Amino acid sequence: MTNKTAPEKLKEQYQARFSKIEPYRDGLWKILTKNFFQRYINESDRVLDLGAGWGEFINNINAKEKIALDLNPDTKDKLKNNIEFVSQDCTEPWPEPIKGLDVIFSSNFLEHLPDKSAIEKSLSQAWNALKPGGKIILVGPNIKYVPGAYWDFWDHHVAISDNSICEALVLSGFEIQHQKGKFLPYTMSNGITPPLFFVAVYLKLPFLWNFVGKQFLVIATKPTDKEQRTQ
């Protein structure tokens, strides 16, 4: 058995889980970005997708400047031509050219980091990269609602709830603007692919989220200099 690097493992995991439903996932994220996430992002914004995977979010969101950060070597080939790819460990200092961001988005990523210290370091890098008033949008499986199934994925290392990630954000200096413990259903890795029409309807009926949603949605902002001085 050969020892594989982290990027090689990421590549194999993504191919094993998502290669058969890649077109469906792209269609899903077209709906998610257009019908929900675009409201939080202006077309003039600089946006970074943290743990971009195959670029489903960043390919479909409208923004002036788009950046994808990931260690998966396949990510670069999945991105549209107008997207900058940064291949690096998210816990290490991010390059200066991607500072001054308006929005950082991350979906189903933080739980894959090795421990809470790595999450704290990543949030610190996000804080440094955002401009004052910039926002971070986080989506991920909520351990409160998938306590057993959460561990069915070998690379889930950190159990996260909406409350725990909010506390981590506050400790990192962010201000919570929106917290929803139940947002999207849990996973598509097991082959569940409901008709995309139903996804659009689901987003318009938040009361359904309380029955089906098992992922949290948290939005936080980096205070402006004025807000920091008055605290």
3-state secondary structure 159-205: CCCHHHHHHHHHHCCCEEEEEECCCCCCCCCCCCCCCHHHHHHHHHC
Say how many domains are in the chain: 1
Q: Indicate whether 1 belongs to any domain.
A: no
pLDDT in tens, 3-40: 667 776 665 665 556 667 788 889 999 999 999 999 99
Helices (H), 44-187: 56-60, 75-78, 116-129, 162-171
In a domain, 145, yes or no: yes
pLDDT digits (tens, 9 = 90+) for 50-78: 999 999 999 999 999 999 999 998 899 99
Mean pLDDT of 166-195: 89
Residue 121 lies in a domain: yes
User: Helix (H, G, I), strand (E, B), or coil: what is residue 24?
Assistant: helix
Q: 178 to each of 1, 2, 128, 155, how far by Cα in Å?
A: 46, 45, 21, 28
Residue 208 lies in a domain: yes
| Higher per-residue pLDDT: 10 or 107 | 107
- The answer to whether residue 116 is domain-embedded is yes
State the CATH number of the domain containing residue 153. Answer: 3.40.50.150
Residue 194 lies in a domain: yes
